[in-house]
A and B are shown apart, each in its own frame.
Chain A
Amino acid sequence: MQALEYAMKKTMYEKIWDSHLVVDEAGQAPLLYVDRHLMHEVTSPQAFEGLKISGRKVRNPHSILATMDHCVPTKNRNLPIADPIAKKQIETMADNCRENGLNLYDMQNPNNGVIHVVVPEHGFVHPGMVVVCGDSHTATHGAFGALAFGIGTSEVEHVMATQTLPQKKSKTMQVVVNGSLSKYASAKDIALAITGKIGTAGGTGYVIEYTGSAIRELSMEGRMTLCNMAIEAGARAGLVAPDEKTYEYLKGREFAPAGDYWDQAVAYWKSLTSDEGAEFDTTIVLEGADIAPQVSWGTSPEQVVGVDGVVPSPESFADEGKRKACEGALAYMGLTANTKITDIPVDLVFIGSCTNGRIEDFRIAAEVAKGTKVAPGVTALAVPGSYHVKKQAEDEGLDKIFIEAGWEWRDPGCSMCLAMNGDELTKGQRSASTSNRNFEGRQGKGGRTHLVSPAMAAAAAAAGHFVDIRTL
């Protein structure tokens, strides 16, 4: 009997998985039901084309929320898009959404912004849902206790046609962050520290659940930043159990349960947390107080170090693959081993993206930027994650702080996170960026990206090099 009870203890992931199984038969992949399907212009056109060719229809148009974010300009929005191929992609998105009756926040819509910033603002994702999007940073919505993961375009088509996806069950990993973060360390630093610790393939095959007091202390925005980068550690998804902060955040938003349904929904959400004693396949433990503000030095998000550290030398890696990767990264990044991180100069600073483009990010950055001036020769871009974030920031006077400090205050979009819209680094330029990937060429061919938190980015803009914000 005791053994049976033990066996019935489930993690949150297992609960969500079990409640969404439509078909689970031998000889084929289990079919999982999809509650919410998010879309943007880059990964959807070929899926709509496939649907049309096969004569299939969108099964549940109400499950879809779409935006335009990757290719949209962040200035002069009123002018036509200069790049004809991007323009066609944007127009195709609008046509596809209109033809299929989908809810689209287009470029001029006051709800427009980066998909993973917009969706939570409208309460479109709730705890316990299965959420997909043709975008690896879909993991963001795990912050609400939803199983949210990125899919390819063929799968986008599959979900539109069937509202389901064949899936393989993942293993479970618990990442515990004990204690509290030190001042100026943030969710971004936790995410980078985890990736540094387990590597970009460390989470492959796993769904991560983040637990521990330092996670509980994070705001919803912080939890979104953390889950957003679960994919950078290779995980299928990241999850944070819902709590009062989650309910408080959701209550009253457009797509949140209303009226009598609210209490019913909250009661259900409370049942989702991992059972006491449920087993995870792997557990990793970090101490919150040990996490320094992080700076990536290489061309993979696992190549990261505390701001008080130095650029490592290839010889410091025992593993041959990592040693070679370090050599390649130093050459690409134009860095010499043992250089102090705080001695690395920057040319451009970017605050924004689905990782760090929310109101809290701009509040923290503005606090650091207040009364400073962008260093000579440095360009600094503040790109809100959505029009709502932009408006909120302007209502709080944050835009003035940035503008007075010499920053550009832009319209929302993915912008320099992946540099598809014309905002990009030129060859050899070096950025301090609050985005999520420092791959070669990610921010422009030959561009050199250092991933940091918003506070670290703002400090670097003023100094012209990285600064240990704990010493400010």
Chain B
Amino acid sequence: MEPYLKHDSVAALMDRSNVDTDQIIPKQFLKKVERSGFGIHLFHDWRYNDDGTDNAEFELNKPAFKGAKILVAGDNFGCGSSREHAPWAIADYGFNTIISTSYADIFYNNCFKNGILAIRVSQEQLDKVMAEISANEGVRFTVDLENQQVITPAGNGFSFEIDPFRKGNLLSGLDDIGLTLKHVDKISAYEVQHKQTFPWLWA
């Protein structure tokens, strides 16, 4: 995983609530056995017309949002299935930051495993940020994870909360499994005790 660095990027607006993982990456693209190459399928059913051309009505197809790394979206983003193909598609498309009031549980976890910073803000804060993008499409925000701050040109910036463990992993780009395996002795000790307490599970 790449370390998450401070950046200054275009913020794209997706003013929709309950964006589900079936929309983020429709099921016909879940058959691949690799992790890469899902970006072109991101939001497929909204993004493309039936003939495969870009749907000009779809917000992310606006020229002003080209190259955006920040996605600003409505409540309960990423609800539905556990498919990690959703954050893979989001990251592969180029986003590394999402700003919303809330996320579905599994999706939220999956984001951090893939170098995506999912920021939670209040409804009031989200409304302000959305209004700023609407008024000035193509506006760039600065995201500073180290200091837990988002800075916007019109002064709608804010600081955000994040679990220190998740923050550390994003900043360092560290592998979760490696961290857990530092505790391998404790896992082994737990298993010894587990076998004594629940012998039927090991029979």
Contact = CB atoms under 8 A, between A and B. Distances in A.
Chains A and B come from one and the same complex: yes
Interface of A: 22-23, 27-29, 31, 33, 35, 42-43, 45-46, 49, 54, 56, 59, 62, 70-71, 83, 85-86, 88-89, 92, 126, 129, 134-136, 138, 149-155, 157-158, 161-164, 166, 168, 200-201, 204-205, 234, 236, 257-258, 261-262, 264-265, 268, 300, 321, 324-325, 328, 418-420, 437, 439-442, 445
**Most B Cβ at <10 Å: residue of A88, A153, A440:** A153
Given A28-B165, A157-B177, A152 B200 contact: no
Contact of B199 (A152, A154, A261): A261
Contacts of B23: 439-441
B27 A419 contact: yes
A149 B194 CA distance: 21
Contact of A154 (B20, B45, B103, B176): B176
Interface stretch (B6-14, B29-37, B62-70, B135-143): B29-37
A204 B76 contact: yes
Interface string B69-82: 00000111001111
Contacts of A205: 105
A163 B30 contact: no
A155 B30 contact: no
Contacts of B34: 45-46, 49
Contacts of A157: 177
Given A27-B164, A71-B31, A154 B104 contact: no
A419 B103 CA distance: 25
Question: Ordered nearest first, which 4 A-B pairs have the shortest CB separation?
Answer: A257-B200, A261-B200, A154-B113, A45-B33
Most chain B Cβ neighbours within 10 Å, of A22, A134, A168: A22
Interface string B155-172: 000000001110000000
A162 B16 CA distance: 38
A324 B74 CA distance: 12
Interface string B38-78: 00000001000000000000000000000000000011100
B149 interface: no
Contacts, number: 180
B47 to A, nearest CB: 12
B147 interface: no
Contacts of B200: 257-258, 261-262, 264-265
Contacts of A325: 17-18
Contacts of B113: 152, 154-155
A70 B164 CA distance: 37
Nearest to A319: B17
A257 B179 CA distance: 34
Given A155-B113, A204-B76, A22 B177 contact: no
A33 B191 CA distance: 9
B180 A166 contact: yes
Contact of A92 (B30, B33, B74, B105): B33
A300 B26 CA distance: 15
A152 B110 CA distance: 6
Most-contacted residue by chain A among B17, B34, B114, B199 (CB, 10 A): B17
A163 B191 CA distance: 10
A207 B45 CA distance: 32
Contact of B22 (A28, A262, A441): A441
Contact of B31 (A42, A126, A268): A42
Interface residues of B, number: 57
Given A27-B165, A152-B110, A157-B177, A201 B33 contact: no
A154 B175 CA distance: 10
6 contacts: A29-B165, A88-B31, A138-B82, A163-B191, A164-B183, A440-B22
Interface centre among B34, B105, B186, by most chain A C-beta atoms within 10 angstroms, is B105
Given A43-B84, A49-B34, A201-B76, A164 B180 contact: yes
Interface in B173-203: 175-177, 179-181, 183-184, 186-187, 190-191, 194, 198-203
B102 interface: yes
Given A35-B201, A166-B165, 5 more contacts: A162-B184, A164-B187, A200-B79, A201-B75, A268-B198
A420 B30 contact: yes
Contacts of B33: 45-46, 49, 88-89, 92
A420 B82 contact: no
Contact of B26 (A35, A161, A445): A445
Nearest to B183: A23
Contacts of B30: 42, 70, 420
A437 B104 contact: no
A258 B109 CA distance: 37
A162 B180 contact: yes
A462 B78 CA distance: 36
B106 interface: yes
A236 B177 contact: no
A437 B106 CA distance: 16
A424 to B, nearest CB: 9
Contacts of A70: 30
A340 B191 CA distance: 57
Max chain A CB contacts within 10 Å: which of B30, B82, B114, B184?
Answer: B82
A467 B119 CA distance: 45
Contacts of A88: 31, 33
Contacts of A28: 165, 179
Given A28-B165, A151-B106, A324-B17, A166 B26 contact: no
A22 B22 contact: no
B198 A56 contact: no
B79 A31 contact: no
Contacts of A135: 81-82
A442 B199 CA distance: 43
Contact of A441 (B26, B87, B201): B26
